[in-house]
Amino acid sequence: MKFTELGLNETLLEAISFMNFEEATEIQEKAIPKILEGNDLIGCAQTGTGKTAAFVLPTLHQVIKNKTSGTSVLILVPTRELAIQIDQQIQGLAYFTETSSMAIFGGADGISWEQERRALSEGSDVIIATPGRLIGHLNNGYVKFDQVAHLILDEADRMLDIGFHDDLVKIISYLPKKRQSLLFSATMAPKIRTLAKEILNNPFEINISVSKPAEGVTQQVFLAHEEQKNAITKGILKDKDAYQSIIIFCATRRKVEQLSRKLKQWNFNCRGISSDYGQEERTQTLLDFKSRKLRILVATDVMSRGIDIKDINLVINYDVPGDAEDYVHRIGRTARASTKGMAITLVNEEEMYKFDRIEKLIERVLEKTQPPEHLGPGPEWKVDVRRKGGKKNFGGKKKFYSKNKGNAKKGPFKPKGGATKN
């Protein structure tokens, strides 16, 4: 369906046309009409499906149609990066309108706090905020939310994972009871259902490709001892023509620092990003990566959702994520909007039970490849049944499997021929 068929304001359509968008994605086609009708809504869609525009466009339409002197839309998000991204998208879509927006997030300086205070007290049409920072302003008594007509919770599952439930409830208590509420999440866990019952009124529900990797992602798995991971990563990155924009995900901030330092020593154009870095540095790193001044970004899972950077053609899971659904969000950074991309995961013997859970979630068994011969054999694929329930195996000695057996094949760094896709 074309955007021109959705009943949106002409000035918004002009901005959409200026950005060279014509066809709505599935989540946009299903959500926009329902939001325009005034329904509360639960939208469950994976990363890269266009869900930000699915709620931004119809709420901007309502703001233009029913202009007030105060804040009309409140969007709550889990991270400062997502707040900035949504604010930038609103500025682009609202370019030909008189709609104002302000992103409110922690880690900023005193000047930013004063700018936020003015927006919250004098009225910006759209406020995009992280819960913790907004609570700080609410506690000072000057925030005016009496005209808020639209509440949007984006990445709601991530906000609950971080522990923002009580903050969300407190913030919502400051809003008018008569409002439209929209909840968007990549997963529909029981805690999301509980939150939806607390804040939504007879919501319409949309589910789009929940917990499955995008069709355009080619997935490859290397079985590797931990000490082999750096060398495998180096080999993958050497082909500068194959992959120009790369994200490498690590499990911890310490590993981000260690790996980014090692890659710099090997003269790769690389930088790390995690919550250990200052906000100004993180913002500049993202801008450089988005503009292709930076080829490789090494990140924690704070980057696995909500950062809209197009044309990422390689994601490397240096560590297997502990949550199977985070695997989908990580590799969802590539192959966005029906493009193609590569996702490579390095799995050591301690991570095999985690990857087994991932395969069950995506309902696909992926081919396992051994490291290149000059690095020596990796471990044999063997899932420890005692660990599949999530408990550590504290008994006995750690076993390392050195023979190339089973379904693991020897192979180069890049897939050849019929690569496994989902």
pLDDT tens per residue across span 3-19:
999 999 999 999 898 87
User: Is 0.85 surpassed by the pTM of this model?
Assistant: no
The stretch 268-278 carries a mean pLDDT of: 85
What pLDDT does residue 278 have? 73
- The residue with greater pLDDT, 305 or 227, is 227
The stretch 137-163 carries a mean pLDDT of: 94
Domains of the chain: 3-208 (3.40.50.300), 217-410 (3.40.50.300)
Element (H, E) at 193: helix 190-199
Of 29-38, 305-314, 361-370, which has the strongest mean pLDDT? 29-38
Contact of 282 with 253, CB cutoff 8 Å: no
The stretch 73-93 carries a mean pLDDT of: 91
pLDDT tens per residue across span 237-252:
998 788 989 999 998 8
Segments of 22-134 assigned E as strands: 41-45, 73-76, 101-104, 126-129
Rounded alpha-carbon distances, angstroms, from residue 323 to 174, 213, 342, 358, 390? 34, 14, 20, 8, 10
Element (H, E) at 120: helix 110-122
**Tokens read off for 34:** 């329902």
What pLDDT does residue 188 have? 80
Contact of 16 with 3, CB cutoff 8 Å: yes
Rounded alpha-carbon distances, angstroms, from residue 155 to 81, 139, 201, 213? 12, 24, 19, 17
Contact of 103 with 87, CB cutoff 8 Å: yes
- The residue with greater pLDDT, 370 or 387, is 370
What pLDDT does residue 211 have? 54
396: three-class secondary structure by DSSP:
coil
Contact of 127 with 102, CB cutoff 8 Å: yes
Confidence band for 390, pLDDT divided at 50, 70 and 90: very low
What pLDDT does residue 213 have? 73
What pLDDT does residue 369 have? 95
Confidence band for 176, pLDDT divided at 50, 70 and 90: very high
Q: What angle do CA 66, 67, 68 make, to 5 degrees?
A: 115
The stretch 349-370 carries a mean pLDDT of: 92
Q: Residue 344's Cα: distance from chain center in Å?
A: 18
Which has the minimum average pLDDT: 128-142, 204-218, 253-267, 358-372? 204-218
What pLDDT does residue 387 have? 53
The stretch 85-108 carries a mean pLDDT of: 88
- Residue 275 clears pLDDT 80, i.e. is over it: no
Beta bridge partners of 42: 183, 205
Of 111-115, 229-233, 285-289, 380-384, which has the strongest mean pLDDT? 229-233
Average pLDDT, the chain: 85
- Residue 54 clears pLDDT 90, i.e. is over it: yes
The stretch 30-58 carries a mean pLDDT of: 90
pLDDT tens per residue across span 291-338:
999 999 998 876 555 566 777 889 999 999 887 777 887 887 786 655
Sequential DSSP letters for 304-346: SSS---TT--EEEESS--SSHHHHHHHHTTSSGGG--EEEEEE
What pLDDT does residue 49 have? 75
Confidence band for 391, pLDDT divided at 50, 70 and 90: very low
| Rounded Cα gap, residues 375 and 411, in angstroms | 12
- Residue 413 clears pLDDT 70, i.e. is over it: no
Q: What percent of the chain has pLDDT over 90?
A: 57
The stretch 88-95 carries a mean pLDDT of: 90
Contact of 38 with 94, CB cutoff 8 Å: no
CA atoms within 13 A on the CB side of 205: 10
Contact of 256 with 274, CB cutoff 8 Å: yes
The stretch 185-208 carries a mean pLDDT of: 89
Element (H, E) at 205: strand 204-208
What pLDDT does residue 383 have? 84
